[in-house]
Structure 1
Amino acid sequence: NVIVYGNTIDIHTTVETLLSLGIGGSRIHLVQPPLSSNVTCLNNNEIESAVQEALSKAGVSVYYDSILAQWNEGDDPDLITCAAFTTNTKPFKLQCSAFFSFAYRTVDYETFKAINDACLVFDGRLVIDTEFHTNDVSIRAAGPLTKYSRRYYVDEWTHSNFSSKEIGFELAASMLNLFDPTPKPFSKAPEGTDRLIPMYKECKIKGGVLPGGYNYLHISKPEIPIRLDLELALCDHHERLLNDLYYRWNEGQITDLYSYFREPWSMAIYHDRFIDLKKELRQILMSEQ
């Protein structure tokens, strides 16, 4: 048996990989712990239904709201042969020859010890300010390992909410003045901006092949995840700028997205100042109202 445990998209791509390698679905056990929020990893009822149907068709056993209690009954963990889980009703135990865990991404002990031994402030994650500085001026950090200092009052926002590529670019840019001797004009930032975290613009992208052979791609703006049905209740959908993509797709007017985005109407959205144009047009319309 193979146990796949967690609540991220990785559990689905892992199950699909195991199935594609020829492992029978009856030997795969997908165990999902309770959600830390009300947003699932796929956050789409239609996609989740299709995935659940594919899992059922493949014979994969799925367990919900189950928390890993221990493996090997507390004995030597070098070779995991079984795992026990607790639920709201009755605990259960599964035998296994492999265990994939994608739950509770935390900092491993070796990393924590290195951070702690360096006398850096650690609060569940490595604490930084808005300019990537740790409490040691000679050490900077970025990425999902970090979190903003509590003095910003934004515990829900971390670098994991943003594009890693954009974060890396900004970190490199912030360090450029350490290596570039060319003097630059200095302009004083408005008072109070040192208490605001920077907001990034680039999209976050994740994808993979889901059970059933579905190719999945999700592109989202930097944000704290909210349920899709609540987001769709808002009147402002960026999809309208894509020539009513959703409507045209449902009407069968689009058969190839690559060709669709090569059509003349789409040229404007590739311009590097398209967002500025959008904001300017919105301001004009609002002023006329």
Structure 2
Amino acid sequence: MMDQHETTYTSLISEFIPVKPRIRIQCDNYVIPKVAESFALYHMNSRLSTVANVCVDAKIVVIGASDVALSFLENLIFNASNHYVVFENITLVSDRGIRFKYELNDLENGFLPITSHYSYEYMKSMSLNTWVNVVTGTVTAINRIDKHIIVDESHYVYYDYLFLFCGEQFVCDYVCKDIDFASSSVSHDAESENSANIVRPIKNLFVLNTEEDVLHASMSLEKLKAHTKDVVVYGKCLESLTVINTLLKSGIKGSRIVYIENKLDEKMSFIESEYIAKRVYEELVKNNVNIHKSCRFVEWKLSENDTQINKLTTLSQYYCIGLVMIRASMKFDGHLVVSNSFQTNDEYVLAAGPVAKFNPNNREDGMLSHSYFNSVEVGSNVAKTFGALVGVFEEPSSIELIQPIFMYCHLPRDYQYLYCAIPGFKYYEEITKTIKTGDKNTGYFEMTLDAKGLVIAFSCYSKNKFHHLNLIHLCGKSISLFDSMLDRFENNTLPCLFEYFEEPWAQAIYSDKFDSLLEVLNMHWSNVKFKIAELAKVTKVEEEFKDKCLKLIQNVMLKFVEDNLDELPMYSHPITISKLLDEQASLPNATKQFGPRERIRCPFFQQDSCPPGGTNRQWPRFKPATVR
């Protein structure tokens, strides 16, 4: 019990303003302040307490807990106007509830690839349960006339706006042992009366989609190690390789692992680099993993009590919500067809994510499926569109889907793998240039550039640790930001891209504020070029004006470093220089001058910048770069 003088803010939490967590720069070489434990932050002050709230009480129901759904909820709750705009009635419906509820250890985290920044720690920092009601169950029907959904055929959830964010998952359709499977093993006859009667839990079948599935599989690893029977991993996808790596790390011998590859589905993620794929198969063979390629699943046979598989298992990709949409008379042809503003043929139903695709009449690039785009960016755009629809956000001028997609995981023998690419890279037809450094021993890094010098894709494969959340910021950037990287590569002075992008000059690129800095710099430099062109005939005026504008741009960069000094301690700034000088002066027998030090490269300046105490105290002039 709390004493009377103690204060609790739990009952007032809805009156506070939630603060969105930042994705911090990952850095090992410098001391960056970190908290011991993640927490959700709320803020209120006397000025904001006088602002009248705009409460949106529309019933918002979200089906699915995919990355798109989490991004939608995050951007809806932590919007730029959340100091006075409050969404009071949000409900999420998912068969396993909200994701990232459990803290997994390193072994358990290796079961599934990572496709976004969402994690257990990040979800704790958001505390979505404070704002979102979670209903655990499966949607079995949608009634568009009465505007409600039916969960588990018995519970009714009413809505004003319905959002369909169903992701992709592996599903096993279990049938009797005497019935043969087709190659896809997907049963579309959901109305079969016998289908519900023949489904029973199978003890030795693991279908990994959520943390609960991972925990269930992890608890069975000790039993697997005690047995001598083979462990079958089915499906040509990255998830299969991550499972094999986890089995090997847990102590299961490779000779007991049978890896069965089916025909590669273009919807499934696999290794894009031929070099990396070859090295992965070499590791599988080296560890005596039995590989069967280009196989087609035919059937499995169960034990006498139908609780265990004696010979084979299968996984398949399947949209379990599809029949529900068809019955609700929604436009569905394998994907739910939506407009550019994510609206279906029902104005109160919006959809996004792998289950949806754009209307072919509204797009010219041919990229219709939402799986081509970054799920977090898609969810963010849906939140902006919906906010404008209900009149609390400004209507976006256009829907931009330009953020790269990525996949990070651990491949067999614990090699780290990262693949990152711009949307639609598989269908990219322009001339490209490829930069490759290292090998599987030192770390292999493969980067693809387009004709304009933009990074459009890259793959990383290394036994050594690297920071994937840093490197994904390289995709879509111009190589003019990378400190003459191309010249160094062509002159054979760039042995390892991993080490190169760990250098101090690159850390600012990994900041979540860096894209905003590029926008400001582009705006200023566009104005500079326009004014200089007008004053080209007056040389003296031109030079004076140019110096002033370059000084303005330099000040913008210094302000950026100043605002992010906690994350960028490796950058020189007048504030840090002043602190170092004060510390030096306070030391006994301190001298007035620092000794010369090694110079630090900085790609944003014409000259080399000098660290605090160096011989060059004059700030270098800014060299503009073509940035995107």
Q: TM-score, normalised by structure 2?
A: 0.35
Question: Matched residue of 1:18: which SS?
Answer: helix
Question: Matched residue of 2:349: which SS?
Answer: coil
2:408 aligns with one of 197, 207, 211: 207
What pairs up with 1:99-178 in 2 under 5 angstroms? 99=313, 101=315, 103=316, 105-108=317-320, 111-152=321-362, 156-178=367-389
What is the CA-CA distance between 1:23 and the residue it aligns to? 1.5
What is the CA-CA distance between 1:7 and the residue it aligns to? 2.3
Q: Which amino acid aligns with 1:201?
A: I
Kept after mapping to 1: 8 A contact 2:248/2:413 = no
Aligned pair 1:21/2:237, yes or no?
no
- Residues 227 and 61 of structure 1: is their aligned pair in 2 closer, same or farther, counting only changes over 3 Å? farther
Question: Matched residue of 1:65: which SS?
Answer: coil
What is the CA-CA distance between 1:77 and the residue it aligns to? 7.2
Distance 1:21 1:100 in 2: 22
Q: Which amino acid aligns with 2:410?
A: V
Q: Which amino acid aligns with 2:518?
A: F
2:287 aligns with one of 58, 61, 64: 58
Question: Matched residue of 2:319: which SS?
Answer: coil
What is the CA-CA distance between 1:199 and the residue it aligns to? 4.9
Distance 1:274 1:156 in 2: 27
Deviations 1:168-198 (A, max 9, x none): 000000000244457x6898x9xxxxxxxx5
- Residues 169 and 156 of structure 1: is their aligned pair in 2 closer, same or farther, counting only changes over 3 Å? closer
Kept after mapping to 1: 8 A contact 2:238/2:269 = no
Kept after mapping to 1: 8 A contact 2:301/2:309 = yes
Q: Which residue of 1 aligns with 2:274?
A: 45
Kept after mapping to 2: 8 A contact 1:54/1:211 = yes
Distance 1:178 1:235 in 2: 38
Distance 2:250 2:334 in 1: 37
Q: Which amino acid aligns with 1:113?
A: L
Question: Matched residue of 1:208: which SS?
Answer: strand
Distance 2:306 2:414 in 1: 34
Provide structure 2 residue ranges, at least 5 long, that are not aligned to the other structure. 1-229, 435-448, 456-478, 527-532, 534-628
Q: Which amino acid aligns with 1:13?
A: T
1:223 aligns with one of 408, 421, 424: 424
What is the CA-CA distance between 1:130 and the residue it aligns to? 1.2
Distance 2:396 2:428 in 1: 43
Q: Which residue of 2 aligns with 1:193?
A: none
Question: Matched residue of 2:233: which SS?
Answer: strand
Question: Matched residue of 2:286: which SS?
Answer: helix
What is the CA-CA distance between 1:125 and the residue it aligns to? 1.6
What is the CA-CA distance between 1:22 and the residue it aligns to? 1.5
- Residues 123 and 231 of structure 1: is their aligned pair in 2 closer, same or farther, counting only changes over 3 Å? farther
Distance 2:450 2:392 in 1: 49
Q: Which residue of 2 aligns with 1:244?
A: 485
Deviations 1:60-95 (A, max 9, x none): 11111112222228x997643223xxxxxxxxxxxx
Q: Which amino acid aligns with 1:146?
A: A
- Measured on the aligned residues, the alpha-carbon RMSD in Å equals 4.0
Q: Which residue of 1 aligns with 2:606?
A: none
What is the CA-CA distance between 1:231 and the residue it aligns to? 4.9
What is the CA-CA distance between 1:277 and the residue it aligns to? 3.9
- Residues 106 and 185 of structure 1: is their aligned pair in 2 closer, same or farther, counting only changes over 3 Å? closer
What is the CA-CA distance between 1:123 and the residue it aligns to? 0.4
- Residues 31 and 261 of structure 1: is their aligned pair in 2 closer, same or farther, counting only changes over 3 Å? farther
- Residues 252 and 178 of structure 1: is their aligned pair in 2 closer, same or farther, counting only changes over 3 Å? closer
- Residues 43 and 266 of structure 1: is their aligned pair in 2 closer, same or farther, counting only changes over 3 Å? closer
Distance 2:279 2:263 in 1: 21
State the percentage of identical aligned residues: 22
What is the CA-CA distance between 1:142 and the residue it aligns to? 0.5
Aligned residues: 249
Q: Which residue of 2 aligns with 1:89?
A: none
Distance 2:383 2:396 in 1: 19
Larger radius of gyration: 2
What is the CA-CA distance between 1:148 and the residue it aligns to? 2.1
- Residues 140 and 25 of structure 1: is their aligned pair in 2 closer, same or farther, counting only changes over 3 Å? same
Distance 1:249 1:4 in 2: 43
- Residues 180 and 49 of structure 1: is their aligned pair in 2 closer, same or farther, counting only changes over 3 Å? same
Distance 1:252 1:100 in 2: 41
Provide structure 1 residue ranges, at least 5 long, that are not aligned to the other structure. 84-98, 190-197, 285-289
Distance 2:493 2:405 in 1: 23
Q: TM-score, normalised by structure 1?
A: 0.70
Q: Which amino acid aligns with 2:495?
A: E
- Residues 265 and 40 of structure 1: is their aligned pair in 2 closer, same or farther, counting only changes over 3 Å? closer
What is the CA-CA distance between 1:141 and the residue it aligns to? 0.5
Distance 2:231 2:493 in 1: 38
Aligned pair 1:255/2:499, yes or no?
yes
What is the CA-CA distance between 1:164 and the residue it aligns to? 0.6
Kept after mapping to 2: 8 A contact 1:71/1:77 = no
Deviations 1:227-262 (A, max 9, x none): 99x854775243533342793785248636333554
Q: Which amino acid aligns with 1:123?
A: D
Kept after mapping to 2: 8 A contact 1:7/1:33 = yes
Kept after mapping to 2: 8 A contact 1:125/1:145 = yes
Distance 2:494 2:402 in 1: 29
- Higher RCO, 1 vs 2 (CA within 8 Å, ≥6 residues apart): 1
Distance 1:265 1:116 in 2: 46
- Of stretches 23-32 and 217-226 in structure 1, the one that deviates more from structure 2 is 217-226
- Residues 35 and 161 of structure 1: is their aligned pair in 2 closer, same or farther, counting only changes over 3 Å? same
Q: Which amino acid aligns with 2:375?
A: S
What is the CA-CA distance between 1:124 and the residue it aligns to? 0.6
Distance 1:224 1:253 in 2: 21
